[in-house]
């Protein structure tokens, strides 16, 4: 098979766009360890990995904009009085409807990026298994990572998922973050690319607030330079969950907040 045809098949395979017969033919080449087929697929996967950074911003659907605006407007309602012992969310100065629409668009693009990453992970598993050059333990590790990413997408795209804009506090007005809260599954995912860098002796910690009580949801990992995330089980919404907060704490975390609060997001009341 000539190289141009191989590249055409590899491109379609990486995007899941091949006909059944072409997919079967190319898959047989991979399982047979065909070096040219494996090389062509590897090149296409590199391109696929870069697609999220090459895509132009896409305006969110009108229905999604309306939903996000309604949820954020609901956030402005006064918090329950028994939260007064924790810092309250401070409104972002100069916030505009344009910024809110940008939040909706960012949420949509982020979900699409994760979906593409899941596809890439699945293709890596298939290709490495075909090469038969890695052991069963490494394959299982990749499969577990794939399953974790799929759960993240489910949390972000649930029918009852709320996107909460985490409001910056006085310690750093430029801090930003988004939290996807799935009330049906009592699950949440937090992402931030706006938290300041910290030294190795410090760590960001996520808190669930129930009145004046703060319950640790875990330590927030730095995925790569300046990008932080955490996925965690939450308290049920009907168990008095009122807000989420991010604080800076000593390495290893603490039982209750001791450091500066950087972000606060209020759970919308029904």
Please report whether residue 119 resides in a domain: no
Higher pLDDT, 257 or 160: 257
The rounded distance, in Å, linking the Cα atoms of 250 and 263 is 17
Q: Are residues 200 and 262 in the same domain?
A: yes
Higher pLDDT, 185 or 128: 185
Please report whether residue 137 resides in a domain: no
Number of domains in the chain: 2
* Short-list 162, 172, 189, CA closest to 263: 172
Place of tokens 């704490």: 249
Please report whether residue 110 resides in a domain: no
Other C-beta atoms closer than 10 Å to the C-beta of 86 total: 20
Residue 39 is predicted with a pLDDT of: 77
**Residues 23/37, Cβ–Cβ less than 8 Å:** no
C-alpha dihedral over 74, 257, 225, 173, to 10 degrees?
A: 50
Residue 2 is predicted with a pLDDT of: 75
Q: Which domain holds residue 225?
A: 78-97+160-266
The rounded distance, in Å, linking the Cα atoms of 219 and 228 is 10
Q: Are residues 172 and 258 in the same domain?
A: yes
- Span 26-66, pLDDT tens digits: 778 877 777 787 777 777 665 555 544 444 545 555 655 56
- Span 82-93, pLDDT tens digits: 444 555 545 444
Residue 129 is predicted with a pLDDT of: 67
Q: Are residues 11 and 43 in the same domain?
A: yes
Q: Is the pLDDT of residue 266 over 50?
A: yes
- The average pLDDT across 106-118 equals 62
Q: What angle do CA 44, 116, 14 make, to 5 degrees?
A: 30
- The average pLDDT across 132-141 equals 66
Q: Where are the alpha helices (DSSP H) in the chain?
A: 3-15, 20-31, 35-54, 62-75, 97-131, 136-156
Q: Are residues 30 and 89 in the same domain?
A: no
**Residues 234/217, Cβ–Cβ less than 8 Å:** yes
Structure-token pair, residue 216: 């640790």
Please report whether residue 239 resides in a domain: yes
Q: Are residues 221 and 171 in the same domain?
A: yes
Q: Is the pLDDT of residue 124 over 70?
A: yes
The rounded distance, in Å, linking the Cα atoms of 237 and 184 is 9
Q: Is the pLDDT of residue 80 over 50?
A: no
Q: Are residues 182 and 237 in the same domain?
A: yes
Q: Report residue 200: phi and psi, to 5°.
A: -70, -15
Structure-token pair, residue 95: 């916030």
- The average pLDDT across 241-258 equals 94
CATH number of the domain at 195, please: 2.60.40
Structure-token pair, residue 64: 């999604």
Q: Would you give the distance in Å from CA 154 to the centre of its chain?
A: 11
Range of weakest confidence among 4-8, 170-174, 193-197: 4-8
Name the DSSP class of 182: E
Q: Quick one: which H or E segment has residue 160?
A: none
The rounded distance, in Å, linking the Cα atoms of 32 and 38 is 10
Range of weakest confidence among 159-163, 177-181, 186-190, 248-252: 159-163
**Residues 245/190, Cβ–Cβ less than 8 Å:** no
**Residues 220/250, Cβ–Cβ less than 8 Å:** no
Q: Are residues 173 and 241 in the same domain?
A: yes
Mean pLDDT of all residues belonging to the chain: 74
**Residues 86/212, Cβ–Cβ less than 8 Å:** yes
Residue 102 is predicted with a pLDDT of: 53
Q: Are residues 46 and 88 in the same domain?
A: no
Structure-token pair, residue 106: 């960012």
Hey, is 86 helix, strand or coil?
coil
Structure-token pair, residue 67: 């939903």
Please report whether residue 73 resides in a domain: no
Q: Are residues 168 and 236 in the same domain?
A: yes
Please report whether residue 140 resides in a domain: no
Please report whether residue 210 resides in a domain: yes
Residue 119 is predicted with a pLDDT of: 72
Residue 96 is predicted with a pLDDT of: 46
Sign of the alpha-carbon torsion through 247, 249, 255, 257: negative
Please report whether residue 116 resides in a domain: no
> Which residues are registered as beta bridge partners of 163?
180
């Amino acid at each position: 098979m000539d190289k141009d045809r191989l590249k055409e098949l590899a491109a379609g395979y990486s995007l899941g766009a091949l006909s059944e017969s072409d997919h079967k033919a190319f898959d047989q080449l991979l399982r047979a360890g065909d070096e040219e087929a494996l090389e062509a697929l590897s090149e296409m996967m590199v391109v696929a990995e870069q697609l999220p950074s090459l895509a132009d911003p896409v305006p969110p659907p009108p229905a999604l904009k309306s939903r996000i605006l309604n949820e954020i407007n609901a956030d402005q309602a006064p918090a329950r009085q028994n939260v007064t012992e924790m810092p309250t969310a401070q409104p972002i100065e100069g916030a505009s409807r344009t910024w809110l629409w940008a939040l909706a668009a960012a949420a949509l693009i982020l979900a699409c990026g994760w979906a593409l990453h899941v596809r890439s992970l699945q293709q890596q598993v298939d290709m490495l298994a075909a090469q038969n050059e890695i052991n069963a333990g490494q394959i299982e590790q990749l499969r577990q990572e794939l399953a974790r990413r799929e759960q993240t997408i489910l949390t972000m795209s649930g029918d009852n998922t709320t996107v909460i804009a985490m409001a910056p506090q006085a310690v750093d007005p430029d801090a930003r973050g988004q939290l996807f809260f799935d009330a049906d599954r009592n699950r949440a995912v937090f992402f931030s690319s706006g938290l300041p860098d910290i030294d190795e002796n410090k760590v960001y910690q996520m808190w669930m607030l129930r009145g004046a009580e703060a319950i640790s949801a875990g330590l927030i990992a730095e995925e790569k330079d300046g990008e932080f995330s955490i996925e965690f089980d939450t308290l049920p919404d009907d168990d008095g969950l009122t807000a989420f907060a991010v604080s800076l704490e000593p390495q290893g975390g603490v039982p209750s907040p001791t450091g500066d609060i950087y972000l606060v997001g209020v759970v919308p009341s029904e």
